[in-house]
């Protein structure tokens, strides 16, 4: 009996020694290092565009005109500008395709006032003649999907085209008299829009305001005289087309 009791004491002492040694080793170990979980990737910015926007532009305008019932014409460049407001009929919606965020095509309506500038030209008189034009234009704009993810650009970029009509007011002053005439003109355009923030965007765009659509039929050269076209003409004022190249800034309301 005493032998069994002695064996138990020895066994208990061994277990206690092992426990004490384990605790001591654990006390000597450095504290565990917990690695923080990796930060989630930044969310893709989903821009909620307002349907309404306004903006302004500074233009470099090419004037090309033909004086009715004469052989005189003009070709010159000058500065102009425009202010505009628009409405997005179908604003682009961001969706995910092939693991990247893309934006669906959109359609916009835009109304603009254009100051097309003033140029001087020769009509064979002792003093130069002058042409100054302005226009109110309405157009439909078709925007392609955002293609910046395809090229790694940091901001959304959209290519667009525009088609519309404009009422153009032409002021023609000459040695022979002063004429003011309003004409209907076709409007075409193309450009790029850079959406810098949810409210701010800039564009680089090219527009074309044709010669008169209505009025007396008048044949004018097309494409630097390669052929002649007859859409319409003016009665007294110079029949002029304008092609503004614009740097535009806009603001979403």
Residue where the block lists tokens 């202010």: 83
The closest of 133, 1, 26 to 80, measured between CA atoms, is 133
Q: Specify the pLDDT at position 35.
A: 65
Query: What DSSP state is assigned to residue 9?
Result: H
Q: Specify the pLDDT at position 132.
A: 98
| 8 A C-beta contact, residue 136 and residue 110 | no
What is the domain partition of the chain in residue ranges?
52-252
Distance CA 33, CA 114 (A): 67
Distance CA 75, CA 144 (A): 34
Q: Specify the pLDDT at position 126.
A: 92
| 8 A C-beta contact, residue 167 and residue 178 | no
* pLDDT, mean of each 10-residue run, the chain (253 residues): 51 51 52 63 53 96 94 95 95 60 80 98 95 98 84 85 98 95 97 92 97 82 60 90 97 93
Distance CA 57, CA 118 (A): 17
Distance CA 146, CA 152 (A): 11
Q: Specify the pLDDT at position 240.
A: 95
Sign of the alpha-carbon dihedral angle for 9, 15, 18, 24: negative
Q: Specify the pLDDT at position 92.
A: 62
Spatial neighbors of 194 by CB under 8 A, at least 6 apart, are 155, 156, 157, 201, 202, 203
CATH number of this structure's domain 52-252: 2.40.160.20
pTM as predicted: 0.74
Q: Specify the pLDDT at position 45.
A: 45
Extended strands (E) in 67-199? 73-90, 94-97, 100-103, 106-121, 129-143, 157-174, 177-195
Beta bridge partner(s), residue 241: 64
């Amino acid at each position: 009996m005493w032998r069994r009791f002695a064996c138990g004491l020895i066994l208990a002492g061994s277990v206690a020694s092992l426990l004490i040694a384990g605790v001591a080793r654990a006390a000597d170990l450095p504290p565990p290092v917990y690695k923080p979980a990796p930060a989630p990737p930044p969310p893709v910015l989903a821009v909620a565009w307002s349907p309404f926007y306004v903006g302004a532009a500074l233009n470099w305008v090419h004037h090309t005109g033909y004086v009715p019932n004469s052989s005189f014409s003009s070709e010159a460049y000058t500065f102009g500008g425009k202010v505009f407001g628009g409405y997005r009929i179908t604003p682009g919606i961001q969706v995910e395709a092939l693991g990247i965020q893309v934006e669906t095509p959109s359609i916009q309506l835009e109304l603009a006032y254009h100051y097309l500038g003033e140029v001087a030209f020769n009509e064979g008189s002792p003093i130069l003649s002058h042409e100054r034009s302005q226009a109110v234009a309405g157009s439909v704009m078709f925007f392609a999907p955002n293609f910046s993810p395809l090229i790694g650009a940091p901001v959304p970029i959209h290519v667009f085209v525009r088609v519309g009509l404009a009422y153009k007011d032409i002021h023609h002053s000459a040695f022979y008299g002063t004429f003011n005439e309003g004409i209907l003109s076709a409007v075409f355009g193309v450009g790029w829009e850079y959406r810098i923030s949810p409210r701010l965007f800039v564009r680089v765009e090219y527009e074309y305001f044709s010669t008169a659509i209505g009025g007396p039929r008048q044949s004018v050269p097309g494409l630097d005289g390669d052929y002649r076209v007859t859409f319409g003409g003016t009665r007294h004022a110079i029949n002029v087309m304008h092609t503004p190249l614009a740097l535009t800034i806009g603001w979403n309301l």
